[in-house]
Chain A
């Protein structure tokens, strides 16, 4: 910081002079926040909305009961036609059906993760209004790289983790996350003539299993 420390002072002084007028100051707590903080939908409608949104983005959505989850995962993995999977260090063993190659991410190298065909993770939350899956990259959600390089991301979300609106997700964050990724559908672009094309650099395929732990 040797070269820029004098610029630091210069910039902060300029800002200080520019914002010296007390009329411009206002208290953070008094700022208007009159937008909707809560959704209006019940649990079924919320799940319906999340499903609809993600399907609009080209993602695949299935439901399961907690009891049947392992079976549903096994079916999906089987149907995917993929063989090698990476998983975060702390996902339940029953999420990894036999007969496939499972790489548990204990600091795997990028080149090894790149060789995996898919990844299975949990999630921190889901936001139905925008069809968003939230990862805070805990040990059930995995490092950022494992949900990035494989071409298929299968994500498991409990209905109890699903909220309707973005502000409701923020209410669930008792502590701000230091790492977070908000995923709304598979990787996409509209840079050529505003035509939405799925699958650029991130996973080209996204599947979600909603676990009905709410009934």
Chain B
């Protein structure tokens, strides 16, 4: 398996990357199975929740409110967190966030660091930077461990290794942990991970986490997880560094009563995930005695400035939109060339790239709206996709390269043809004559040359009838007279 490129600045365009994964039948089977399972569990739990729509409305409103007042809530968070003994850092972009974290680790003389799964750290490509600086990184989430040991990349926001099956996990663990007689029973594989990481938890003094929520009112940070690896990292080390996007803030502690109800149900199809941790700065005698929060902008404030696109930042990273998306379910996450795949990735990634990269992603959708229907914070993803498509088209306007784009030329030609009835009739005649060469005896076109093959490679096309509607209508009038 070749390693997927997850850096949007160098990743191939979506249609190209998708072709590769579409040929990987094992991967498609794994993705389909995993997303089917989560969707079925989610559907049951949503159905039993009588106030689900009210919760969605409240969740969307609180997130939108937090974003509309983001500056003051971030300052409040900073104030409270600092009062509680935390240190707040601000990073304008990925490079600055990496530099801050590296500096903090150097101050700790850290040679090793344990990590809780954080997609934000993958966004800023933190691990390669730390490894390059001589710091060994240990991912502690089971899925992240599978990927790290297997030299693979995340393909899903919540279950990053969902494209890997038990046999593949067995092979990776056997090879990297030196366990030749490992079986492929998930219970056994999980136990192997427990043993492998236990000593790391007890000995590595520095940890890095993401954040699910920041609470402005109290300066608290919340992390939602299942395995207890998060609790280990939040409790045992001497120093804790939390990397959080600036959009993660909530006004008050009480707002968690909404978001915790929708998050686990949407993400893993559970009423509540096994462990949720909330902490505030430093607690004497309990947990890390040095605590840093790095608040990351990295393009987010620009998303905030655009009225339609702003809702992208409401996202709480549940991945329900990935699981339901007919495109993601076929391609998996690697085709998106970004740690954020699926519908939310299709809108988030190009915007984080300030529309300079990943411009094919807004087109990686049929606009069916399934993502919007399941989103617990009601992000109208199709609306944002269309807005971003408009931005991409605007970028292309006036570029000379367009005159070599068959789609553009075709549209130009159509513009002329549709302008007069005479030209339209002439074009109809020409296409009837032209296509008759390719029309089979059954009246269908099975194969076209050149660009037309893009259509006929997967579908047949009905041949053009002998008579157009207008001709038939005119003939009918004559008969009646």
Contact = CB atoms under 8 A, between A and B. Distances in A.
Contacts of A187: 226-228, 274-275
Given A111-B202, A200-B142, A194 B220 contact: no
B51 A36 contact: yes
A179 B278 contact: yes
Given A26-B65, A34-B58, A191 B256 contact: no
Contacts of A179: 278-280, 283, 286-287
Given A114-B202, A176-B254, A201-B228, 8 more contacts: A3-B103, A4-B91, A14-B304, A14-B305, A15-B70, A19-B67, A197-B187, A199-B190
A190 B226 contact: yes
Contact of A194 (B38, B246, B301): B38
B149 interface: no
Contacts of B55: 35
Interface residues of B, number: 102
Interface residues of A, number: 73
B87, B275, B279: which has the most chain A beta carbons within 10 Å? B275
A200 B193 contact: yes
Contact of A178 (B37, B92, B191, B283): B283
Interface string A166-196: 1101100100111111111111111111110
The secondary structure that dominates the A interface is: loop
A80 interface: no
Interface string A10-34: 1110111111010011101001111
Interface in B230-285: 231-232, 234-236, 246, 251-254, 256-258, 260-261, 264, 268, 270-281, 283, 285
A191 B143 contact: yes
Interface stretch (B4-12, B159-167, B327-335): B159-167
Given A131-B272, A188-B226, A193-B34, A11 B251 contact: no
Closest A-B pairs by Cβ, 8 of them: A202-B228, A176-B253, A18-B305, A14-B301, A130-B272, A200-B227, A201-B228, A18-B304
Contact of A184 (B91, B228, B251, B270): B270
B201 interface: yes
Nearest to A134: B276
Interface string B285-298: 11100000001010
A178 B279 contact: yes
B234 A191 contact: no
Given A3-B100, A201-B229, A182 B301 contact: no
B434 interface: no
B269 to A, nearest CB: 9
A11 B297 CA distance: 7
